[in-house]
Amino acid sequence: MSVSYTSILWNKQKKAYDIGVLIFVLSFTVLFFGGHAVLHPNATFETVLIRNFGLLAFLMLHLILVIGPLTRLNPKFLIILYNRRHLGVTMFIMAAIHGIFSILNFHSLSNTNPLKSVFLSNLQYDSLINFPFQVLGFFALILLALMATTSHDFWLKNLGPKVWKSLHMLVYLAYALIILHVVLGALQNETSPILFGVVLLGFVIIASLHVLSGLKEQPADVAIDDAKSDFVRACNTSEIKENRAKIVTVSGERVAIFKYNGKLSAVNNFCRHQGGPLGEGKIIDGCITCPWHGYQYRPEDGQSPPPFTEKVETYHLKLEGDQVWIDPKPLPEGTPVQPVTMNNG
């Protein structure tokens, strides 16, 4: 968390993360080039290079896509999520090397502009099996480029968290395009069913983890209010751990009700940084701390402590015995609300 923009705020954890990514890339590249030198000496350098970086990007995309649901299933993986964008940018660089070399190798030094050639060489757009698979990879690369270039907090701030999040959800479209690119392209040259099986397994793992994490979150999405109600019962105070929250859904929005120092406060669950789940965060130094990237908000007014300026909606609460009631109507972002004090606090 930083007041001004810097390219990367390095710390020990971030360095450890990036060293891990570097080891990942280097070890695969050494294995792949070395393996080809021994097992496939006839393969040309360009072919090995294109395949190496294509496969690396493909593998890294799978890792990126499993981190989100893994974190929902086990919060210990938040340490992987925090710097996920580093993995994303590295994956884009791998994909860009693959794409640029492919275009140079297959389309340059010809009678047509290389970029035009990508679209106009194979014209069997009406055939599934003969579809020009390079076009699919090209569009996937454009999406990855969009996400990589806007991954910095500068763009997050200027685009707004919802637009930014929507833009970065395009990773799923990119994944679909890449799967088709691989199945209609590289796999067509291979006779072993094992490689097809590996692609299928990757898809099954990603889909399963997303379904499992969705099922885990589903109970919090059941709305507890109806359109006419003022205060609705949210939960029992004993259901909320100290310095933690319970997430409920009112008026179509997830709301996090925090318990801290014998008090209760409710704020919108959507972190203004990247849309992280504030209700899965913790009160640290008197502030709600987002589990994704550590953005902080004061529970009593939903405002980030100065000099930060992020704000979330707040909600009125009331206590009847040990039952917590919430007014489903959100108050404007950053509106101070007197915390509810628990008698046995």
- What is the C-alpha to C-alpha distance for residues 108 and 111, in angstroms, rounded to an integer? 8
Q: Which is nearer to other proteins, 182 or 331 (CB)?
A: 182
Cis (ω within 30 of 0) for the bond into 161? Answer: no
Min dist CB 314 to other proteins, Å, is: 22
Min dist CB 142 to other proteins, Å, is: 18
Q: Which is nearer to other proteins, 280 or 313 (CB)?
A: 280
Helix H or strand E encompassing 28:
helix 12-39
Q: Work out whether strand 282-284 and strand 287-289 pair parallel, antiparallel, or are unpaired.
A: antiparallel
Q: How many residues bind to other proteins according to rule CB under 8 A? A: 79
Per CB under 8 A, does 185 bind other proteins? yes
Whether the Cβ atoms of residue 2 and residue 294 lie closer than 8 Å to each other = no
Min dist CB 7 to other proteins, Å, is: 15
- What is the C-alpha to C-alpha distance for residues 72 and 75, in angstroms, rounded to an integer? 6
Q: Which of 5, 6, 8, 13 binds other proteins (CB under 8 A)?
A: 13
223 φ/ψ angles, rounded to the nearest 5 degrees: -65, 135
Q: Considering only residues 67-96, where is the footprint of other proteins by CB under 8 A? A: 70, 74-80, 82-83
Per CB under 8 A, does 330 bind other proteins? no
Instruction: Map residues 100-139 to x or -, x wherever contact with other proteins holds by CB under 8 A.
Output: -----xxxxxxxx----xx--xxxx----xx-xxx-----
Per CB under 8 A, does 16 bind other proteins? yes
Q: Encoding tokens for residue 196?
A: 């097809």
Q: Considering only residues 226-255, where is the footprint of other proteins by CB under 8 A? A: 241-244
Per CB under 8 A, does 32 bind other proteins? yes
286 φ/ψ angles, rounded to the nearest 5 degrees: 80, 0
Could you tell me which residues are beta bridge partners of residue 258?
245, 265
Per CB under 8 A, does 192 bind other proteins? yes
